[in-house]
Amino acid sequence: MSQAAPTSPPPLAIRGAVERGWAAFAHCPWVLMGFTLLSGGANLLAQLLYRYESGLVISLLGQPDPISIVLAAMAWILYALTGLWLVVGLLRGAELALQGRRPQLGDLIRVDGRAMLRCFGTVLLILVVLAVIVRLAQASSWLLTLIQPLLAPLPLLAGWAVIVYLSADQIMSLPLTVLGGLGPVGAFRRGRAATDPHWLHALGLTLVLLGMVLAGFLVLLVGLVVALPVAGCTLTAAYQQLFGLGDLGEPSGISVL
């Protein structure tokens, strides 16, 4: 008796993710926007403080200013922490909204140190991988310049192609880390296994999310207060398409909308 071939995870239904994400945002817009304004404002203030203090690191006498160095370091740490706080809170609020619940502001502002640490590790891992790709492309281009200058741009183009591929391939890493409870390496592997069979759908989702955030920038702070929660809800809806509501991100087999 012939056995049925194993099925791959269903492709991302981008339109379905956007529609569910918008419906989740419309279910509790003021809470999501309020948290985004609070955490995003803290993140912006930390960034401005870092820029100001880093500009004062070298004093008027040409000597390093220890106080400015310490304040700049503290501002950078605060900037990173508030950014992680924003990501974790938005994804948690999006998950509750997609379940039909109305999250309270206290649910979002609660600091989850473990989730923030996992999120930081995942972002750091992806940035390290991207940095290695860039360095390898630059080194290969330099070697080709010595051998055949006309071929020097090819490694750089290949490097950019790999960066685009990896950026879309890891679109689920943050939800897997924050909502699925996976560590950086586990989220990296699980996200790649789920999105690789339907990479073009993952690229489309990445472009949609990027377009939402860029559209928010067009109207500055007011736009981002709306765009970031909508993007978070859309990403979480896409995550649930692939992994359902489980904690460890196992593919659920949910049919494509």
Q: Which amino acid is at 9?
A: P
Q: How far apart are CA 239 and CA 15, in angstroms?
A: 13
Is 113 exposed, middle or buried (CB count within 10 Å of its CB: 0-12, 13-18, 19+)? exposed
In tens digits, the chain (257 residues) has pLDDT values of 444 444 555 678 889 899 999 999 998 899 999 999 999 889 999 888 888 877 766 655 566 767 777 888 888 999 999 999 999 999 999 999 998 888 888 889 988 889 999 999 999 999 999 999 999 988 888 888 888 777 778 888 988 999 999 989 999 999 999 999 899 999 999 988 888 888 899 999 999 999 998 888 887 767 889 999 999 999 999 999 888 765 444 443 333 33
pTM attached to this predicted model: 0.83
Q: Tell me if 106 sits within 8 A of 247, measured CB to CB.
A: no
Q: DSSP 3-state assignment of 82?
A: helix
CA 63 to chain centroid:
39
pLDDT tens readout for residues 134-172: 999 888 888 888 887 777 788 889 889 999 999 899 999
